[in-house]
Amino acid sequence: MERLQKVLAHAGVASRRKCEQLIVEGHVTVDGQKVTELGFKVDPDSQAIAVDGKPVKQEKKVILLLNKPTAYVSTVSDPEGRRTVMSLLPTVAERLYPVGRLDYDTSGLLLFTNDGTLTERLLHPSRNIEKVYRVTVEGTVDKEARRRLAEGIELEDGMTAPAIVEVMKQGPESVVQIAIHEGRNRQVRRMFAALDLPVKRLKRIAFGPIALGHLKTGEWRTLDPAEWKALYRSVELSPPPYATPTFPNRKVERPARTSRSPKGKRSRR
């Protein structure tokens, strides 16, 4: 069950705020009955929803993966006029939203979907979805630093959960791969700052069962069917029928696959 205004927005009727207005003003019916209550929950797969008598058709569920560059904000729009990740995606008929955020100065794997239930479950703390980052820091990540990361770091908002740490390179600049299950604001940077190891570069390389692979910075691709099923099953959802986005008035070429290329459709940026 999902909130009615959310279902309408995901179906492409209008923005969430505009959909709330349509409900309050009495333009929306569910199973033939007018609904004016915000927060009213519906099952979009089994109930008939209409706006001014016109049936609302639910969008097919789609998912895109972007290798986000730095210097982009992970929002649909930005009041400060900064570049958003949406400008890196192709024009599609479905209304896509980022699944969570990556900081302005963080790069790597960012998912987009129009499936609100999937998004909520992937981001809910109780799901413990693993996120893997490759971190370049100033200084050496010694045995004591690795122990503290593995046991948890005391931050201003509490102790972090244990992380899985692998040192890839030691030196004046060290490279570490770290896996965490939490999603606190700028958590990885704050964890290393607490160890006096300033982060120079931060890139997310995996989110749950989905890996970034060899996708180039600024490129996007669809998930392949196996990834699609794995992502839904990771949050205990039955996978809907596999689908790719609708590209209005555009033919999308399928690049030749090689052993090094990620599966799925990919941009030619």
Catalytic residues: 103
* Secondary structure string (H, E, C) spanning the chain: CEEHHHHHHHCCCCCHHHHHHHHHCCCEEECCEECCCCCCEECCCCCCEEECCEECCCCCCCEEEEEECCCCECCCCCCCCCCEHHHHCCCCCCCCEECCCCCCCCEEEEEEECCHHHHHHHHCHHHCCCEEEEEEEECCCCHHHHHHHHHCCEECCEECCCCEEEEEECCCEEEEEEEECCCCCCHHHHHHHCCCCCEEEEEEEEECCEECCCCCCCCEEECCHHHHHHHHHHCCCCCCCCCCCCCCCCCCCCCCCCCCCCCCCECCC
Structure tokens at 143: 């045995």
CA distance 207 to 179: 10
CA distance 119 to 231: 11
Query: Is residue 23 within 8 Å of residue 40, measured between CB atoms?
Result: yes
Query: Is residue 155 within 8 Å of residue 191, measured between CB atoms?
Result: yes
